[in-house]
Amino acid sequence: MSEGTQTRLTGALLRRVDPPVAIAFGCIIAMLLLGSLYSRSFLSPEYLLQQLKVASFLGVIATGTMIVILLGQIDLSVPWVVAVGGMMSTAATGWGPVGEAMAIPFGIACGVVLGLLNGFGVAYLRIPSMIITLAVNAVAQGLMVVHTGGFSPQDSSSPAMRKLATGDFLFGLPNALLVWAVVGAGAIFLLNRTTFGRAVYGIGNRERAAYLSGIDTQRVVLVAFAIAGGLSAFGGVLLAGYASKAAQAMGDAYLLPAIAAVVLGGASILGGRGSYLGTIAGVILITLLQSILSVIQMSEAGRQITYGVVIIAMLLLYGREGRAR
């Protein structure tokens, strides 16, 4: 192969690399090197594998968040949809052997129902997604308070939930990481190889044009929010399995990180642009940032300040690129 051909191939490859994704992966490498200055174990395979396991829970939730953001919408019901998934799946385990067998699908189904409420409000009632998802989040919170009587849930997760969240099955890889890989592969196929995925990008770019081209925009929005609700609830199921029980505030820590991971991975908050590879990078980046702040034993106030500054800095760096286009 001639030198000129190699140069052209290299140039073509570089042009195909999404700059935000490259920046995100560059920041991941920088954080790994920075963390190794404080702890030699930071680069050990065991520690990195543990971080990927922790990232898997956020990764599953962020997958649904990404689909909604690609539509140009936002889902603020994540905290209590996650809690509903965890609390309803653990509640099902108290129904005997049949309940244990149905715990995981039942928790996910509850999230799908809440997602359908979000999607119906956005698609058919034309309520802004920020408003309807906040309302559904409040309704879910109220339902869970009624369900528990205001006390902490007493039900435990099923053995299958614990195995899925904490066990390992293949080559010592955590099951949670394998679950995220399956969910991610499904999302990539759905977004890149199906009519639904093309419709999601089309609606995010210009909903009216998508409608005039023959896309059933209302149905696509409804299904997208249902998927997001199911994945958020699935994240709650995994978290309940990881902790062996559910908690009322278990989803509060995942709203901002889920949105930030998607946007830091290069997705436009205005919709129509983004890749799942970027979301993977964003999830790992957020997880490593949280880990580094813990390793250096920074105070809680310092953690929150640093966390916010890094997110704002990266959003200023490329998060508004979609608006410029």
- From CA 257, how far away is CA 62, in angstroms rounded? 8
How many alpha carbons fall within 13 Å on the CB side of residue 305? 5
Name the pLDDT band for 324 (thresholds 50, 70, 90). very low
For the chain, how many residues are written? 325
Distance CA 282, CA 79 (A): 19
Rounded average pLDDT over 265-283 = 89
For the segment 138-195, what is each residue's pLDDT rounded down to a tens digit? Answer: 999 999 999 888 777 778 899 999 999 998 877 778 999 999 999 999 999 999 999 9
Neighbours of 140 (CB within 10 A): 25
Q: Whose CA is closest to 179, among 41, 52, 85? A: 52
% of the chain surpassing 70 pLDDT: 90
Between CA 145 and CA 152 the distance in angstroms is: 9
Q: Which helix (H) or strand (E) holds 2?
A: none
For the cut 90, the answer to whether the pLDDT of residue 123 exceeds it is: yes
Beta bridge partners of 174: 168
Total-model pTM: 0.90
Can you give the pLDDT at residue 271? 87
Distance CA 295, CA 77 (A): 31
Strands 168-170 and 173-174 turn out to be antiparallel
pLDDT at 309: 76
End-to-end CA distance of the chain, in Å? 37
Q: What is the largest distance, in Å, between two alpha-carbon atoms of the chain?
A: 74
Which amino acid is it at 63?
A: T
Q: What is the pLDDT of residue 10?
A: 44
